[in-house]
Amino acid sequence: MQDIKKKIDDLRAKLRYHSDRYYNDDAPEIEDFEYDMMMRDLKALEEQYPEFDDINSPTKRVGGKADNSFEAVEHTVRMESLQDAFSKEEIFDFDRRVKEVHDKVNYVVEPKIDGLSVSLEYVNGVFSRGSTRGDGDTGEDVSGNLRVIRSIPLKLNKTLPFIEVRGEVYMPKKSFERVVDRQLTLGEKPFKNPRNAAAGSLRQKDSSITATRGLDIFVFNVQQIEGYELTSHKQSLDFLKELGFNVIPFYEKVSSIDEAFKKVEDIGETRGELEFDIDGAVIKVDDFEEREALGSTSKFPKWAVAFKYPPEEKQTKLIDIEIAVGRTGVLTPTAVLEPVHLAGTTVSRATLHNQDFINDKGVNIGDTVTVRKAGDIIPEVLCVNEKNSNGNYVFPSVCPSCGEAVVREEGEAAIRCNNPECPAQLLRNLIHFCSRDAMDIEGLGPSIIETFVDNGFINKISDIFHLDKDKIAALDGFKETSANNIISSVEKSKDNDLGKLIFALGIRHIGAKAAKLLSDHFKTIDAVMKANTEDILEIEGFGQIMAESVVDFFNTEGARELIDELKALGVNTESKTIITDNRFEGMTFVLTGTLENYKRSEASKIIESFGGKTSSSVSKKTSYVLSGESSGSKLDKANALGIPVIGEEEFEEMINA
C-alpha cells in the first residue's frame, strides 16, 4: 500500500508542478494530452483507494456539488476598503497627510483589479479556507469554489504555520466573452461585465459550474503570517511570489509622490491592452511600521489611496448601423464607426442597445457621435454631437436573417423574430428542443449539438430526426455505442406527450406547465394552431400576453412548416393525458415542501389523471395545498387565505376513495 500512496503522491506533485507552469508561469513543459493522461491515472487510483483521499488533490480542481453552504466567516484582520481619489490634487493631498506623520516615505504603486476581494488561509502550507470580503468584518466561506481556480495554490512552496493573504478574484476578458457567448446560446440573461460575472461565478452552489468559468486571481496583501517576519509591502509581494501565489502584476516601489503619480498614469495608459479589468491604481505606504503609525479611519486605512480612472470619451462619425439577430431572436443594432483610439484600443463598433435608445439619443447614419467604453469593456454611443441626417434610424420590419415579420411585445424594449426555424437562432433553439423538460433527448447536450451543427449534420430542428448513426460514429470522440444511444434516444422522443413538444418549440412566455395546459385543453397540435387569443384565454392561468404569444408563434410560416415536418417524421402531436375519472375536475392543487411517498411530478400526474390541475403559486382560486416537510411561504399564504391544507394521508384518501 505504501507503493500505491507514493504513486498517488508523485502524480499529485507532478500535476501541481505542471499546473503551476501552465497557469502561473505561462510556460508549459508538457502537452495537454500528457497532463490529461496523468490526471486520468490519478482519478482512477483515488477511486480505487479512497483511504488516500485528499481535499486538496489536483483532481478536485474540476469541482462538484459544493459542500459548503456559504457559512459566515469572521475576519480576524479587517478587510478594509480604500479611499478613492479622482484627481492629481487629491493624490497630493493624500501625500500631504502622510507627510504630517512621516517626513519621508516610500510608496508602492500597483493596479486596482476590478473583481471580488477574497481571503485565503493556509495552515502548515496547505489551503484550509477561503472567504469573501463581505462587509469587511464578516464574509462567506467559499472554499469549495476557490479550490477550482487553478491559479490558487492548494499547497505552498514553503511550509509556514499559518498565513492569510488577500487577493482579487477576477474573470479575464477572454473568459468573459466565452461565458457571455454561452449564456446567449442557452437563452440566458448574460452577465453585464466581468466583475459581475466573477462574483456570480464564485457564489455558485455547484463548484463544477465555477470551474468552467475561467476565473483567475491576483494576490496583493498579507493579512496575517506566522513563522516569517515581513517589514514592508514590497518585501511581502516578493515573498508571496516565492510561495507560489499569482501576485498583482507590475507593482513598483517609488520614493516620491511625483514618481507614484507618474506610475499611476503609466498603468492607466496600458489598461485597454490588458487581459483583465482594472478600474484604477493603488498607492500604498511601503513600510509596515509607518503604516501602523498612520492607522485607519472607521472606513479606510490612512496609508493607502485608490486613484480611479475616468472613462475616456472620443468623437467620431457613425457610418452605418448593422442589425444582428441574437440566439434568442432579439434584433440588436450595432453602430459602425470611423475608427478611433479609445482606452488603449482602436474602436470601430459600438452598441446602440435598442430602438428606444436610438430614439432617445436621436441617432442616425451620418451623425457625429461621442463614444465611450462602458466599464472599459463595451464601447457605447453616448450622444449625438453633430446631426448630419434626417430623423432617427428605424429598425427593419422583417428579420434580416430569415425574412419573417418581427414583433415588439407590449412592455418590452426588444424587437424580435419569433420564427423557430430562423438560422440565427438555430443553436439555442436546438439546445432547448433537446433539453430534459422539452423533448428530453438523452445524449444531445449543448456541446454535442454544437459538434453536429459544425459538421453540418443539423441545419434545422427536424434534422435531429434524420441523424445518421454511421456519420456520428465516424466523428472523433464517438463510437458505435454512443451513436446507437443517441439514435435510440431520438426515436424514443417521438413518443413524448404533446405538452413536451409544445414546450420544446420555445414559444415566448410558455413554460413547461403552460405547455401542458395547452396540450390537455386542446388535445392536438392542430387544435392549438387553430386557436385564437380568446380560445386560449379560457384556460385558467393564461393571460393576454401568453395567449397572444402562442397565436403569434403559430402564425409564422416557419412554425407551421416545422409542425408539418415533425408530423411526417412520426413525432406525436396529441395529448397522452388519460383521465381516470373527473373527481378533481375544476380543482387546482399547489404542492409545497418535500413529500415522503411521491415525487412532485408523480403527485402532479395523479392529480391530472383525475381531471385536476396543479399550479406553482397559491391564490384565492387554489382548491388545496398539498404540504410536505419544510413547507415555506406557500403554506403561510394558504393559511392566510384560508385555503385547505392537506398532507399525504389525506391526499391518498382522496385518490383511493
Q: Which residue has the cell 416537510?
A: 629
Residue type, 475: L
Please provide residue 405's backbone torsions phi and psi, each rounded to the nearest 5 degrees: -65, 140
User: Per residue, what are the HEC states of 567-594?
Assistant: HHCCCCCECCCCCCCCCCCCCEEEEECE
The segments of the chain whose pLDDT lies below 70 read 21-28, 31-33, 36, 61-69, 185-187, 343-344, 374-377
DSSP 217: E
Grid cell at residue 38: 496523468
Contact call for residues 302 and 97 (beta carbons, < 8 A)? yes
pLDDT at residue 343, rounded to an integer: 67
Helix/strand/coil (H, E, C) string of 596-628?
CCCCHHHHHHHHHHCCCEEECCCCCCCCEEEEC
DSSP 189: P
Task: For cell 446567449, name the residue.
Answer: 184
Mean of all residue pLDDT scores within the chain: 89
What 8-state DSSP symbol labels residue 247? B
Q: How many CB atoms lie within 10 A of CB 362?
A: 15
What is the tens place of the pLDDT at every residue in 394-448?
Answer: 999 999 989 999 988 777 888 999 888 888 888 888 999 999 889 999 989 888 9
Contact 348, 336 (CB under 8 A): yes
SS3 138: strand
- Compute the radius of gyration of the chain from its Cα atoms: 30
What stretches of 67-164 show up as alpha helix (H) in DSSP? 88-99, 143-146
Distances (CA, A) of 134 to 75, 117, 500: 10, 9, 43
CB neighbourhood size of 510 (10 A):
20
Residues annotated as catalytic (active site), given as ranges: 112
